[in-house]
Amino acid sequence: MQCRIDGGVVDSVDLLPVGRRVAYWRGRRKLSQQVLADRLGKSKSWVDKVERGVRSLDKVSTLQDIAAVLRIEPGVLLGRHVEPSRVTERAERVERIRAALTTYEIALARPNTRRPVLTAERLARETAHVWTAFQHARYPQVIDLVPELVADAQRTHAHDPRAGRVPLVEAYRVTASLLVKLGAFDVAWLAVDRAMTAATGNRVLVAATAVQLGQVLRASGRAQVAKSVMLTAAYRIAPPVIECGPPAELSLCGTLLVQAALAAACAGDDRTAAELVDEAAEMAAQVGDGHDHHRTGFGATAVELARIIVAVELGDAETAVAWHKKVTVRDGWRWLPAEHRAAYLIDVARAYLQADDPVKAGRVLLEAHRTAPAEIHHRPAGRDILAQVARDPDAPATITQLVDMLGTG
């Protein structure tokens, strides 16, 4: 059977078993079985058995991990119709970001002279603009801006290391956050590693970068490592007395504790997760809602949202749904960035699916779409939940219409 892509149209890949699709896309990405196995944390034998159909892929999380490494939508592996042109376009955009991160012109003393070196002040404004676009979930715009932002940040830092350090770290941080959204975890790891290297020696910058490090570790399936690293980072930035701590540092410490709690929940450690959320809540009480220190959005409402996501991760859908109905009526809910709210709603849709209520899951997804359409359009996790809801015969008709529009069904 021939499988080819001409003009963005896949001829017969959809007819292949899932294991053969893995092999096909692995070949397209020019990865060996060993490289794919290493990136998944599996053995070469495991990959070989999957591709030959000896081992089945029955876990959604495993399919998502494979799809992330292969830079395709999970639906492609499941044989759902996904617009190939959109998949290819997204992969190409991620590759442009990868290229920007793997350019060593500065280190090799071969800087690109086509663009002037920005001042640190100008670069800081450009970085803030990209962060704002990200928090409004304007992911296509951010994808287009990030490669030049990274290149500019590296040139500015080379020209003025002292003044250019903070905007360089922030450029890497927003890049890592974007790549996690897009499911490009390997490239996100590169961005966050660059950020951590640039931040080394500055406890505040290290703590800020650790937030993205925690996201990358959890998304890559390294929950235990994520918990350990987040706790170390949190307690390094923690003030001796919470009541006297600066709000910015409390926000970083509290956010890192939330990240650790989510990692503990992923590992099934419900007691530790609850204790860490409670600890973060004490700090949030000092910070209050409506702030965004170091782009964390940390506050009392954000911590309660995290408590709900922890419940979802632990499979306690009843608790998650009950708390959800209470927290979203707070003023603090409206003050959170659109990206934060929409991402949270996707997790709540998971809770409703766990509770076998596809109707409410669909309604929550539609709310997420109204809040930040790109969380569904461009985030693989959002599209996957949408496809799961759409398969239920009781799902709202508007969900089916959204699926048809996105080609996710």
Sorted by sequence, the CB contacts under 8 Å of residue 97 that are 6+ apart come out as 143, 146, 147, 150, 175, 178, 179, 184, 187, 191
Q: Which of 211, 129, 226, 200 is nearest to 171 (CA)?
A: 129
Calpha distance 83→406 (Å, rounded): 8
In the structure, what pLDDT confidence band is assigned to residue 7 with cuts at 50, 70 and 90? very low
In the structure, what pLDDT confidence band is assigned to residue 4 with cuts at 50, 70 and 90? very low
Strand-pair category, 5-6 with 9-10: antiparallel
CB-facing half-sphere around the CA of 299: CA atoms within 13 A: 19
**Domain boundary pick from 35, 56, 82:** 82
Predicted local distance difference test score (pLDDT) of residue 89? 65
State which H helix or E strand residue 88 sits in. helix 84-101
Calpha distance 198→164 (Å, rounded): 10
Give the total residue count for the chain.
409
Q: Which letter does DSSP use for residue 105 in this model?
A: T
Mean pLDDT of 7-32: 68
Calpha distance 386→327 (Å, rounded): 23
- The residue ranking higher by pLDDT, 390 or 331, is 331
**For the chain, what is the domain count?**
2
* Structural domain that includes position 76: 1-82
- Whether 355 is covered by a domain: the verdict is yes
- pLDDT of 389 > 50? The answer is yes
Angle at 268 between CA 266 and CA 272, to 5 degrees: 95
- Whether 331 is covered by a domain: the verdict is no
Q: Which of 35, 147, 150 is nearest to 92 (CA)?
A: 147
- The residue ranking higher by pLDDT, 146 or 55, is 146
Q: What are 78-110's pLDDT values in tens digits?
A: 655 444 455 556 677 888 899 889 876 665 556
- pLDDT of 21 > 50? The answer is yes
- Whether 379 is covered by a domain: the verdict is yes
- Whether 184 is covered by a domain: the verdict is no
Q: At what angle do helices 203-219 and 185-199 cross, to 10 degrees?
A: 170
Q: Which letter does DSSP use for residue 119 in this model?
A: P
- Whether 347 is covered by a domain: the verdict is yes
Mean pLDDT of 143-153: 94
Calpha distance 92→5 (Å, rounded): 15
How many CB atoms lie under 10 A from the CB of residue 195? 26
Mean pLDDT of 226-236: 96
Predicted local distance difference test score (pLDDT) of residue 323? 95
In the structure, what pLDDT confidence band is assigned to residue 170 with cuts at 50, 70 and 90? very high
Read off the CATH number of the domain in which 62 is found. 1.10.260.40
Averaged pLDDT of the chain: 87
State which H helix or E strand residue 224 sits in. helix 223-237
Residue 378 in contact with residue 178, Cβ under 8 Å? no
Calpha distance 218→262 (Å, rounded): 8
Mean pLDDT of 49-62: 75
Residue 277 in contact with residue 303, Cβ under 8 Å? yes
- Residue 108: is it exposed, middle or buried by C-beta count within 10 angstroms (0-12/13-18/19+)? exposed
Calpha distance 68→380 (Å, rounded): 9
Helix %, strand %, coil % for the chain, to 5?
75, 0, 25
Calpha distance 320→314 (Å, rounded): 10
- Residue 178: is it exposed, middle or buried by C-beta count within 10 angstroms (0-12/13-18/19+)? buried
Residue 277 in contact with residue 311, Cβ under 8 Å? no
Distances (CA, A) of 355 to 143, 161, 266, 376: 35, 53, 19, 21
Distances (CA, A) of 183 to 118, 162, 189, 215: 31, 33, 11, 11
Predicted local distance difference test score (pLDDT) of residue 72? 77
Predicted local distance difference test score (pLDDT) of residue 381? 87
- Whether 399 is covered by a domain: the verdict is yes
* φ and ψ at residue 393, rounded to 5 degrees: -65, -20
**Domain boundary pick from 42, 64, 82:** 82
**Domain boundary pick from 82, 103, 120:** 82
In this structure, of 117-121, 139-143, 345-349, 384-388, the range with the lowest mean pLDDT score is 384-388
- Whether 103 is covered by a domain: the verdict is no
Predicted local distance difference test score (pLDDT) of residue 396? 77
Predicted local distance difference test score (pLDDT) of residue 144? 93
- Whether 78 is covered by a domain: the verdict is yes
- pLDDT of 58 > 80? The answer is no
Residue 217 in contact with residue 227, Cβ under 8 Å? no
Predicted local distance difference test score (pLDDT) of residue 18? 78
